Amino acid sequence: MKEIYQILSNDQNQESRLSQIANNLANVNTIGFKRDEAVFSQYLDSSLKQLQGAGQTAAPNPADSVWPSQLTGYTNFQQGSFQPTGQKLDVAIDGDGFFKVRTAQGDFYTRAGSFQLNVKNELVTQTGNRVLSTKDNPIVVNPAIGTPEITTTGDIKLNQAVVGRLAVVKFQNTRQLEKVGDGLFRAPDGVTAQPVAKPLLRPEVLESSNVNVIDEMVRMIDADRSSTVGQKVVQTIDDLVSQLIQSARSG
């Protein structure tokens, strides 16, 4: 029965949605985290697609075609709130943009500006990835010379001398970025980062996660209810089919 297929499809989507919401809630306190959201659409079954490919443009009859729902996830890049820390190497981007970092797998991008120095005095993220400068090089900061400071333009100073400037880049379409964990995003092949001409940074501040706990709980309740209703409908249909079979056997 096509109706059961539609219900099961929706149920699978709701389970995926619940997993997505759970991950958002798990990262509510993760610096620079961007929440994932989902949109639902419907798609035609293969037979109807073939008809349309043959040039038939008539409106489909829902009774003749399966229209299961399809979940499409995306990352919401809305800016999170700012959290003062007083730490000299903490910095947040006010507005569009990402910090560029170098990993063993290549160059990635992040909004998490909780930086520190490694044993080579290189500026790195909390997971050890090197932060890049506008010259596409790691930034070396020697604390023996003086206390490092980050300015609102991204300059890193030691005793008023600029030793590097943080690379702050942007993308024409942020939805093309792929989330890879640890607050990092990867740009697919063919997608190029562009430097932000005049970035505005907030020194000694971090950007909080943009997850709203209340919103996520509401979404979780909605997804759970939708999944429960679908399961009850499937059970009801299954009971009716069983009754019909028993009735046919008795007759």
pLDDT in tens, 115-136: 999 999 999 999 999 999 999 9
d(CA 237, CA 11): 15
**DSSP annotation string for the chain:** -HHHHHHHHHHHHHHHHHHHHHHHHHTTTSTT---EEEEEEE---HHHHHHHHTT--SPP-TTTS---EEEEEEE------EEE---TTBEEE-SS-EEEEEETTEEEEES--B-EE-TT-BEE-TTSPEEBBTTSSBPB--TTT--EEE-TTSEEEETTEEEEEB-EEE-S-GGG-EEEETTEEEPPTT---EE-SS--EEETEEEPP---HHHHHHHHHHHHHHHHHHHHHHHHHHHHHHHHHHHHHH-
Quote the pLDDT of residue 172.
93
pTM: 0.76
Radius of gyration of the chain (CA): 26
Quote the pLDDT of residue 251.
58
Both tokens assigned to 79: 């800016």
Is residue 155 predicted with pLDDT exceeding 90? yes
Quote the pLDDT of residue 169.
98
Mean pLDDT value across residues 7-14: 60
* Count of positions (residues) in the chain: 251
Both tokens assigned to 244: 């019909």
Quote the pLDDT of residue 68.
52
Residue 92 — very low, low, confident or very high, per pLDDT cuts 50/70/90? very high
Proportion of the chain above pLDDT 90, given as a percent: 59
Choose the weakest-confidence range: 66-70, 87-91, 246-250: 66-70
Is residue 62 predicted with pLDDT exceeding 50? no
Is residue 40 predicted with pLDDT exceeding 90? no
Q: Who has greater pLDDT, 18 or 47?
A: 18
Proportion of the chain above pLDDT 70, given as a percent: 72
Quote the pLDDT of residue 89.
96
| Start-to-end C-alpha separation, the chain | 23
Q: Who has greater pLDDT, 248 or 161?
A: 161
Q: Who has greater pLDDT, 10 or 108?
A: 108
Quote the pLDDT of residue 211.
97
Mean pLDDT value across residues 142-166: 92
d(CA 188, CA 190): 6
Q: Who has greater pLDDT, 15 or 153?
A: 153
Residue type, 247: S
* Whether 168 contacts 97, CB under 8 Å: yes
Using CA atoms, how far residue 142 sits from 103, 118, 168, 184, 231, in Å, is 22, 11, 22, 26, 62
Quote the pLDDT of residue 44.
45
Quote the pLDDT of residue 16.
78
